[in-house]
Structures are given as C-alpha cells and as structure tokens.
Amino acid sequence: MTFLSNHRSVAFLRATVTSLVTAVFALVGAYSLVGSAAATDEMIVEITIKDHKFEPSALKLPAAKHIKLSVKNLDASAEEFESKDLGIEKVIAGNSDAMIRVKPLTAGTYIFYGEYHEDTAKGHIVVE
Amino acid sequence: MLAALVIVFREVLEAGLIVGVVLAASRGVTGRNSAVGLGILAGIAGSVLVALFASRISDAFDGRGQELFIAAILLFAVLMLAWHVVWMAEHAREMTLQLRKLGSDVAAGSQSLFALGAAVAVAVMREGSEVVLFLTGIVMQGKDTGGELLIGSLGGLVLGAAVSLILYFGLAAIPLKRMFSVTGVLVTLLAAGLAASAVQQLSNAGVLNVLDTRLWDTSWILSVSSWPGRILHVLIGYMDQPTGMQLIAYAVTAGSIFGLVYLRRAPVEHARMSRA
C-alpha cells in the first residue's frame, strides 16, 4: 500500500508541476502583451534613503497612473521598504537601488516606512 | 534594542508558526524530526545565500527579481504543503490507530519526508534572509549600539521560537481522534494564504495585472499590522485588504487541497472495510 500511495503521490506531483509550468508560461505570455501596452504611460519617481530617512518623505502623485518608485539606498545597511496601504514589502540591500511598481491609485494618503528603522524611516504619498 | 527584538521576533515567528503547524500535522511519522531539522538548517544556509545575493536577485528580470523569487518560493511551499496534507490524509487512520495502540510511529515514504523538509526549508529561507540582512546592517553600522541590538535580536529569536513551540504543544494537545483533521485543515488554509501572498508578489512584479484592486478593507476591525492580525495572516492567510485575484488564489488552493484529500481518503477507508 505504501508503494501504491507513493506511486500516486508522484503522479499527483507530476500533474501539479505540469499545470504550474503551463500557468507560468501563460502568465509570461499575457505579460508580454499587457506590459508593452502599459509601458508608455509609466511615470518614474525617485526616492533616496540616507541615514535611515526617506528623501523626499512626502510625495504627491497623480491618481490612476502606473508609477515606478526608484528607491536608492545610500546607507551601507539594508532597508525593507514596506507599505501595508500599497501592499508592498521589498528588501533593498545596502548601497543599491530597487524598482517598486505601484498600481494605479485612487485619491487618498498612503503611508510607507522602512521596516528596519521604523522610528526614522517614515514617509507618505498623497494622491489627488 | 527593542526595535531589533521586535523585528527579529516578527520574522522568526512567521517562519516558526509554519514549522510548528507542519510539525504538529505530521505527528506519528518516523523521521519527521530529522526532516524538519534538516529543513531548518537548509533554510538557514539558504537565508545567508539569499541575503548575500540580495541586490543581484532584486535587479534580475528588470527589477522584478525579488518579487518573482519570493513568488516562486511561496508557490513551491504551497505544492509541498499540499502534497504533505494529502499524504497525511491517506495515512491518518492508520497513524491514529498505531499511535493509540502501540505508541509507535508510522514509516513514511522518503518522498513525503522530502515534502515536509522542503516546505520548512523555504519558509525559513524566506524570513531568515530578512533577518540576516537586518543583522548584517547592525554589524556594519556602528559600534556604540551594535552589541545592544544584537542582544535584542537574540531575544527576538528566542521569543519567536518559544511562541512557535507553544503553538506546537497546543496543537499536539488536541485529542488524537481530532488532531489530524484539525492540523490538516490548518495546513491547508496556511497553504492557501501563501498562494494569496504569491499572487500579491506577482502583482507587485507587474506580471499579474488582472483583478488587482482591493475589494474591501477590514483593517479597522483587525489590521494585519497588529499582532493578532499577523498571526492569523500566517496561520490561516487572513488579509485585511484582499484583491480579487488573491481571493481566487486562496479559494482555488484551499478547494483543490480539500478536494484531493476527500477524493483520496475514500478508497483507503473502503479497502480497510472490505478487508475487515
């Protein structure tokens, strides 16, 4: 019986892996279609991290636009850019930069912070 | 010091809760401890590697590397957990009998042990890499507060492990008759939550752009930033602002695992009955 169930487990795994790989290919395909169309109206905003502070820490962004936040970490230590409001959690290694893609937003205030230095690394985005 | 304690505690707890649930769910399986132990060790080694290559991973795929990497890790964990739940469901009956009558363990196939260890390894690797990056930051920064921060981190590690142990013993105290169904459901919901997180990562990477608006916001009742919210997020995949796609991922994952468990449990019982 153990043999039988092992055999079944393998078949189950094979089926799941196959479907997963198919799904990934479908996703990549869909992305290449969507991505090229969306690329034109993207806007890039730069933020730097220095001494565990964001600069600028207050941003004003337009609504309903794809926005890329280019975050440069000038500190030697890593930081985690986190925003529950934006649904983003991204680690940025020391002395490096990261691209954060923000979905089109509706009007409101969105708080973000650096998880590793929450007392100093604070900022917010106002969307109008 | 307190900040360091909180951060490390948070990350250790997130991985630890998963390990605790998975350990409880595989009670009575021979070799489970070494599979989980190896999984933790592999996860820690993986954490260091991931932290070392953090910026290179992040830069890959036009700045989408980190999101895609985490999504892949999460989906792999979902697969391993699903496999494990289904295997446990097939063997729950004999395991309950054997544990009760003989107090002996059931020999598991090496494959299901692999699933167990692998799920633990990736859970540890994901949270662990954040701890490693945070700690190396402390070491690099300075001398004046470095020692204090390391003590805080150590405290966080111990506390996180302690809470995970409490969860494990709490689950292990459930009467045997009920335990496997409770832990089976728990692992299934945990896996569904991981699938929903994977969707969030794919959406942040910009590769999954459908149904990605938030449907509601229950953060005023229970925020995922609060401790109860965080714990429920890990254990059953609670989300305070889910998107349509996240809900679909959650439902499809939970539905598939429950479906597989249901389908594969029945013939085993039937065989047993006809034999008796």
Domain boundaries, chain A: 2-39, 42-127
State the nearest Cα–Cα gap between A7 and chain B, in angstroms: 10
Which residues from chain B sit within 8 angstroms of residue A80, using beta carbons? 130, 133-134
In CATH terms, the fold of domain A42-127 is Immunoglobulin-like (2.60.40)
Mean predicted confidence (pLDDT) in B249-271: 82
What residues of A are in contact with residue B213 (Cβ under 8 Å)? Answer: 103
Q: What is the pLDDT at residue B213?
A: 87
Interface test with B, best of A116, A117, A118 (most B CBs within 10 A): A116
Chain B (69-128) residues lying within 8 Å, Cβ to Cβ, of chain A: 75, 79, 82-83, 86-87, 90-91, 107, 109, 111-112
8 Å CB contact of B86 and A9: yes
Q: Inspect the interface and report whether the beta carbons of A20 and B75 lie closer than 8 Å.
A: yes
- Tokens 């990477």 found at: B205
Look at residues A87, A99, A40 and name the one whose alpha carbon lies nearest to residue A66: A40
B54 pLDDT higher than 80: yes
Three-state SS for A84?
coil
Looking up tokens 């730097």 gives A48
Residues B210-237: tens digit of each pLDDT? 998 889 999 999 999 899 999 999 999 9
**pLDDT (0 to 100) of residue B274:** 47
Token duo for residue B266:
């029945």
**Spacing of C-alpha B190 from chain mean position:** 7
Question: Which pair of tokens denotes residue B178?
Answer: 């009920």
| Predicted local distance difference test score (pLDDT) of residue B144 | 60
Residues 6+ positions from A39 with CB-CB distance below 8 Å: none
Q: B195 near B47, Cβ under 8 Å?
A: no
Per-residue HEC secondary structure of B28-72 comes to CECCHHHHHHHHHHHHHHHHHHHHHCHHHHHHHHHHCHHHHHHHH
Q: Return the pLDDT at A34.
A: 55
Helix ranges restricted to H, chain A: 2-38
Q: What is the pLDDT of residues B158-216, one digit of tens each?
A: 999 999 999 999 999 998 878 888 999 999 999 999 999 999 999 999 999 899 888 99
Contact at 8 Å (CB) between A63 and A104?
A: yes
Q: What is the pTM of this model?
A: 0.85
Q: Are A34 and B209 in contact (CB < 8 Å)?
A: yes
Query: What are the tokens at B270?
Result: 């039937």
Residues of A within 8 A of B79 (CB-CB) are: 13, 16-17, 20
Q: Which residues of A touch B202 (CB under 8 A)?
A: 27
Q: Give me chain B's average pLDDT, please.
A: 89
pLDDT exceeds cutoff 60 at B113: yes
Q: Select the more confidently predicted residue: B249 or B274.
A: B249
Backbone torsions φ then ψ of B103, nearest 5 degrees? 65, 15
Question: Strands A108-114 and A96-102: what pairing?
Answer: unpaired
> Touching check for B11 and chain A: CB below 8 Å?
no
Look at residue B110 in the predicted model and tell me its pLDDT: 75
Locus of tokens 């078949």: A11
User: Is pLDDT of B122 > 90?
Assistant: yes
Residue B255 identity: G
In this predicted structure, the answer to whether residue B1 has a pLDDT above a threshold of 80 is no
- Whether the pLDDT of residue B16 is over 60: the answer is yes
Does the beta carbon of B9 lie under 8 angstroms from any beta carbon of chain A? no
| CB-CB neighbors (< 8 A) of A117 in chain B | 3
H or E element at residue A48: strand A43-50
> Rounded distance, CA A67 to CA A57, Å?
16
Measured CA to CA, the distance from residue A80 to residue A116 in angstroms comes to: 6
Residue B3: its pLDDT value, please?
Answer: 82
Tens of pLDDT along A91-116? 999 999 999 999 889 999 999 999 99
Over residues B96-111, mean pLDDT: 72
Q: Does residue A56 have a cis peptide bond before it, meaning omega lies within 30 degrees of 0?
A: yes
Chain B nearest-CA distance from A92, in A, is 7
Report residue A123 as tokens: 């900022």
Q: What is the pLDDT of residue A31?
A: 59
- Cβ-in-10-Å burial (0-12, 13-18, 19+) of B203 comes to buried
Among residues B209, B36, B8, B19, which one has the least CA distance to residue B112? B36
CA distance A94 to B250: 34
B140 vs A contacts (CB less than 8 Å): 76-77, 94
Tell me the ipTM for this assembly: 0.83
CA distance B52 to B46: 10
Statement: residue A2 has pLDDT above 60: no
B49/A27: higher pLDDT: B49
Question: CA-CA distances (angstroms) from residue A65 to A39, A61, A107?
Answer: 11, 9, 11
Nearest residue in B to A28, CA atom? B207
Partner-chain residue, chosen from A6, A96, A100, that has the shortest CB–CB distance to B111: A6
Contacts of B266 in chain A (CB under 8 A): none
Count of pairs with CB atoms under 8 A, one residue in A, one in B: 115
Using CB atoms, pick whichever of A20, A91, A103 lies closest to residue B66: A91
- Calculate helix-pair angle for B146-172, B110-141, nearest 10 degrees: 160
Identity of residue B101: K
pLDDT at B244 over 70: yes
Give Cβ neighbours of residue A31 (< 8 Å, ≥ 6 apart): B206, B207, B208, B209
